[in-house]
Structure 1
Amino acid sequence: MAKILLFIALCVIPSLVSSTRMVKSPLVVQGQVYCDYCRAGFETPKTRNMAGAKVKVVCSDRKTGEVVYEREGYTDSTGQYKISVSEDHLDEVCDAVLVKSSQPGCGEMTPGRERARVILTNFNGIASNTRFANAMGFMADEAEAGCAEVMKLFQEEDN
C-alpha cells in the first residue's frame, strides 16, 4: 500500500500541477483586419476593414519557441474578429497572426502589421477578459486612384 501511495505522489501529482491551467471564464482576443488600398503600410482614410479574413492566435514556449497552442477564427462583416481562449498561457509568448486574405487583389501582408502580441494570462493585473490586439493588415496589389492626395496629408513639411 505504501508503494502505491509513493507512486501516486511521485508520478500523478506533479503531472496534475504542471498541466494547463483552465481559466474561469475564457479570455477573448479581439482585433480587426483591414486592406490598405494605398499601400502606405499603415491605416489611411482609404483603408477598409476586411470581412472573412482568416486569423489565428498562436502561443509558443518562451524558452524553446515551440508552438504549443493555436486557435483560428475569421473576421465578421465589419472586419472584427474575436477568438476565445480557455487556457492560461502565463509562460508563453502569444500573437494574433494573419493567415489568409478574403479579398482577391489584397493578399499581400503588410510588413510589421502581420501579427500583434497579446498577453493571455489572468496573472497580470488586467481586470477584463478581453485582450485587444493591434489592427493587422493586407496591402492591395496596386494603389487606388486618389492615394497620392491621401499620402500628401501624412507628409511632413519643412518650414
Structure 2
Amino acid sequence: MAKSGAILFLASALCLLSLSNLAECHDKLFVQGTVYCDTCRAQFLTRLSSFMPGATVRLECREKESGNVTLSKEAVTDGTGGYSVEIEEDHEDEACQVVLVQSRDPECSEINVSPLGNQVARVSVTRNNGMVSPVLAANPLGFIRKQPLPECSAVFEELDLSPDGTEAPLQ
C-alpha cells in the first residue's frame, strides 16, 4: 500500500513538473525574421536578393520616455538567413526594434541609413497584442551589396522602376 502511494505521489509530481515546464515555455516570446542581401541596391527584396547566413542582428528595447535600453540581445542567422531571439519577459510599454549589426559577406555589408532603408524592423514585444502565438515576426532586413548585379537593370525594368528606385517615366 505504501509502495503504490509513493508511485502515485511520484507520478503526480512528474505531471506537475511537466506542466510547469510547459507553462515556462509558453511564457517566452520569440522575435523571428530574415536577413537578405540587397543585390540591386533597391532597398527592398527583389527576385535577385539572396538570404544571408551568418549575419548578426540585435534586438533592442528602450523605455519610451527616457530612451534607456532595457533589452539588448544578438542573434546570428542560420543557413537560410533566418534568426530567432528568445525573450523571457514582456516589453509592452517599450519601443523595440531589430537592427542589423554585421554581415559575413564583404561584398554585401553596407547598412543603408537613409529614411527608406531596411536596416531596422520595429516589433511589438508583448503577449498583450491579441495574438496566440509566442512568435513575433519582424520585417526582413537587408544589407546592401557594394555594386549591383548586372541583371538588376532587367529587374527594375520589370517593376517599371528606374535604377534609383523611383517610378520610371511614362513613355
TM-score normalised to structure 2 length: 0.76
1:117 and 2:122 aligned: yes
Q: From 130, 137, 157, give the equivalent of 1:152.
A: 157
Query: How many pairs were matched up?
Result: 138
Of the candidates 81, 88, 91, which is equivalent to residue 90 of structure 2?
Answer: 88
TM-score calculated relative to the size of structure 1: 0.81
Is 1:45 the equivalent of 2:51?
no
Letter in structure 1 aligned against 2:49? T
Larger-gyration structure (1/2): 2
Unaligned runs of 5+ in 1: 1-21
State the identity %.
38
In the aligned structure 1, how far is the partner of 2:137 from the partner of 2:81?
14
CA contact (8 A) 1:23 1:87 kept: no
Q: Give the superposed CA RMSD.
A: 1.7
Deviation at residue 158 of structure 1 after TM alignment: 3.2
Segments of 4+ in structure 1 off by > 2 A? 22-25, 156-159
More strand by share: 1
| TM-fit CA distance, 1:124 | 2.1
Task: Give the number of the structure whose residues are more often helix, by fraction.
Answer: 2
**Kept in 2: contact 1:50–1:79 (CA 8 A):** yes
Match of 1:126 among 118, 127, 131: 131
Distance 2:155 2:67 in 1: 40
User: For 1:132-154, what per-residue CA distance to the aligned partner results, in whole angstroms no more than 9, with x for missing partners?
Assistant: 00000011000111111111011
Q: Residue 137 of structure 1 is aligned with which of 115, 121, 142?
A: 142
Say whether residues 1:102 and 2:104 are aligned partners.
Answer: yes
Stretches of structure 2 that go unaligned for 5 or more consecutive residues are 1-23, 161-167
Counterpart amino acid of residue 82 in structure 2: Q
Offset of residue 40 of structure 1: 1.0
In 2 relative to 1, CA 23–77 (structure 1 residues): closer, same or farther, beyond 3 Å? closer
